Amino acid sequence: MDFEDVIKERKSTRNFSDRKISQEELNKILEAGRIAPTAKNNQPIKIYVIQSEDGLAKIDNASPCRYGAPTVLLVCGDKEKAFFREGHSTYEVDSCIVATHMMLEATNIGIDNIWVDMFDRNIAREEFNIPENLIPVCLLPMGYKSEICPSSPNHMNRKNINQIVEYK
């Protein structure tokens, strides 16, 4: 798919079918995250791939926003490996860049997805035994949308370019 099509086609899917992602597709998505840019190329990221019934139940315990997805990527930033300067760590920004690359690759190969920030990080940390140096940043439920999955009515509502860009 052309990149412009990918960025226009990506939508937040809120109702997934139970159809599983193939390992080949998942590998492509994870590779997109692996090669994403990070500050100083420190790559302070850990991605947990959650697909087991037990793991998905743990996600459901931490968030109401799995939407039935058969795969969830839990993206964490490593605060000890991230670039740090003047009181600011890049672990969260780096994690978001990695997550965005994975979402766009998923869309590129026909895998529906949604970015989820609404989850209890403490529950996720406890449920998946995440070490203290790793900070859960986002969930990426992925799979194939169900036949009954309306698009968000706000998806196409975009500000005019002049409202978000200013030349100096």
Determine which of 98-102, 155-159, 161-165 has the lowest per-residue pLDDT on average.
155-159
Question: What pLDDT score was predicted for residue 148?
Answer: 82
pLDDT digits (tens, 9 = 90+) for 74-95: 999 999 999 999 999 999 999 9
Listing DSSP states for the chain in one string gives --HHHHHHH--B---B-SPPPPHHHHHHHHHHHHTS--GGG---EEEEEE-SHHHHHHHHHH-S--TT-SEEEEEEEETTTS-EETTEE-HHHHHHHHHHHHHHHHHHTT-EE--B--S-HHHHHHHTT--TTEEEEEEEEEE-B-SS-PPPTTTT----HHHH----
Question: What pLDDT score was predicted for residue 8?
Answer: 87
Kindly state the average pLDDT of the residues 14-40: 97
Q: Which domains does the chain have, with CATH numbers?
A: 3-147 (3.40.109.10)
Question: What pLDDT score was predicted for residue 141?
Answer: 98
C-beta separation of 166 from 40 below 8 A:
no
Averaged confidence pLDDT in the chain: 95
Give yes or no for residue 150 having a pLDDT over 90.
no
pLDDT digits (tens, 9 = 90+) for 111-149: 999 999 999 999 999 999 999 999 999 999 999 998 887
43 — pLDDT class (breaks 50, 70, 90): very high
User: Which of 81-96 are b and which e, b meaning 16 or more Cβ less than 10 Å from the residue's Cβ?
Assistant: bbbbeeeebbbbbbbb
Global pTM reads: 0.94
Kindly state the average pLDDT of the residues 17-26: 97
DSSP class of 155:
T
Q: How far apart are the C-alpha atoms of 101 and 96, rounded to whole Å?
A: 9
